[in-house]
Amino acid sequence: MKLTFLGAAGEVTGSCYLIEAQGLRVLVDCGMFQGGRDADARNYAPFSFAPESLDLVLLTHAHIDHSGLLPRLVAQGFRGRIHTTAATADLLQVMLADSAHIQQKEMEWRNKAGARGAGRPPLYTLAEVQRTLRQLSPVDYDNEIAPHPGLRCRFRDAGHIIGSAIIELWVNDGGATHKLVFSGDLGQPSRPLVRDPTPIDSADVLVVESTYGNRLHKNLDDTLAELEYAVTDTLVRKKGNVIIPAFAVGRTQEILYLLVDLYRQGRMPEMDIYVDSPMALKATDITARHWGLLDKDAAAMLRWMQKRSGKPRIHFVEDAVESAGLQRIKRGAVIISASGMCNAGRIKQHLRHNLGRRDSTVIIAGFQAAGTLGRRLADGAKSVRLFGIPVPVKADIYTIGGLSAHADQAALLGWLQHFKRQPRRSFIVHGERETATVFAAAIRERLGWTGIDIPALHSAIIL
């Protein structure tokens, strides 16, 4: 059996792993690379395998760095089924269509501006997205399926976003059965909205994420206090706007939950919250539709919001003209907009109109990949370029790591402690190399595990 690491190896984005065993070829995730000057070139590069030769794809969750190249895979010949949870299948209808729209708009902008990549077609089209959606096979959590004679698998709740999954696979190889576990993105326990990650007790081979494997998040109480201060100080004292770049799926819904809950507790002032993302509205509707996957506190909050008197005022902005109108608001607004790493979408316009204002605040509420605009802001850049124009950074920048949907080092180690025996091989992925190195050392020291590797991109391991 061979396992090849085609993305998220020594980096966070581009999750993609190929399993080959006695004629079986399975792809786990097919994510887009994000951040860095070469991200476009890497996304446009041919796959290192023949897409038509794959038997099936298993998808951990809907975030674009895990799912974003699926339409390209289908366009280049993959005809098999894509197995994922029912909630993820619903989210993909929104997210992949939005991604195709962004590809189209980026192409139009490059052609008009004569920018690098002008004349190149979009990465994929809406028609290719529709073909991809027809190949989805939704499954329920905890139900074992056998999508191929040489494979059984089960999706377990990863507690990252709605529908996110840890995937357990049992692969037949040479008369023996090997159990592989892919953690996907693991959530931080005891966070709002989603349930805690499901404990897993065994694996022969483990592939585990390490996004925050080198650090600890603030506890939730301290995180909420920081969020409360950042918003209140901006709206009440500085009398400006709060801009929050947020992934439309998962992070937007969690931030809405926290803002409303703090308001309900009397810890937030009167405010207008603008969710400037058509995809976020659809994702919020999907989240509510999968009520049974939410934790009990989130379900109670949804019931309270349904009965509330219209405060705080939440506005979902869909129309592009209405979005542009938000730029005229100079005070009292909390604007939540995608993309979460500030590399595309409407958030760039809001940053353009607020970064240069001392009375405004930008809250960085999620992981920012190397090379992204969000990472530059989090690292303290004094000036950034937006639409080719230099913009000074005068707004306050808050990086609130405790809002992350990714488990920190303690939570990752806590999840690993449920294994009754150490896996024969463990691979640390989905983390920048320095972070993965620190996390691997922590596993060796705290758990006493051996057989831990940090795979290089495109490395192939015989298991």
Q: What is the pLDDT of residues 224-282, one digit of tens each?
A: 999 999 999 999 999 999 999 987 777 888 898 899 889 988 999 989 999 998 888 88
Cα separation, 255 vs 223, whole angstroms: 12
DSSP one-letter code for 207: E
Find out whether 211 and 12 touch, Cβ atoms under 8 Å: yes
Q: Which structural domains are found in the chain, ordered by start?
A: 2-215+405-462 (3.60.15.10), 220-403 (3.40.50.10890)
Residue 359 has pLDDT above 90, yes or no: yes
Cα separation, 256 vs 259, whole angstroms: 5
pTM as predicted = 0.87
* Signed CA dihedral, 124, 126, 131, 132: sign only: positive
Query: What share of the chain has pLDDT > 90, as a percent?
Result: 71
pLDDT for 421? 97
DSSP one-letter code for 158: -
pLDDT for 303? 67
Residue 222 has pLDDT above 80, yes or no: yes
Q: Which of the pair, 176 or 318, is modelled with greater confidence?
A: 176
Find out whether 400 and 363 touch, Cβ atoms under 8 Å: yes
Cα separation, 387 vs 360, whole angstroms: 20
Place of tokens 């592009």: 320
Per-residue confidence band for 339, with pLDDT thresholds at 50, 70 and 90? confident
Per-residue confidence band for 366, with pLDDT thresholds at 50, 70 and 90? confident
Per-residue confidence band for 132, with pLDDT thresholds at 50, 70 and 90? very high
pLDDT for 257? 86
SS percent in the chain: helix, strand, coil, step 5 = 35, 25, 40
pLDDT for 308? 60
Residue 369 has pLDDT above 70, yes or no: yes
Residue 307 has pLDDT above 70, yes or no: no
Q: Cα-atom radius of gyration of the chain, to the nearest Å? A: 22
pLDDT for 341? 87
Sheet of strand 361-364: strand arrangement: 313-317, 272-276, 333-337, 242-245, 361-364, 396-399
Residue 461 has pLDDT above 70, yes or no: yes
Residue 114 has pLDDT above 80, yes or no: no
Residue 168 has pLDDT above 90, yes or no: yes
Place of tokens 């709060």: 242
Residue 36 has pLDDT above 80, yes or no: no
Q: Which of the pair, 459 or 121, is modelled with greater confidence?
A: 459
Buried b (16+ CB within 10 A) or exposed e, 211-230: bbbbeebbeeeebbebbbeb
DSSP character string of 79-107: -SEEEEEHHHHHHHHHHHHHHHHHHHHHH
Q: Looking at residues 81-102, what average pLDDT do you find?
A: 94
pLDDT for 305? 64
Q: Looking at residues 167-193, what average pLDDT do you find?
A: 93
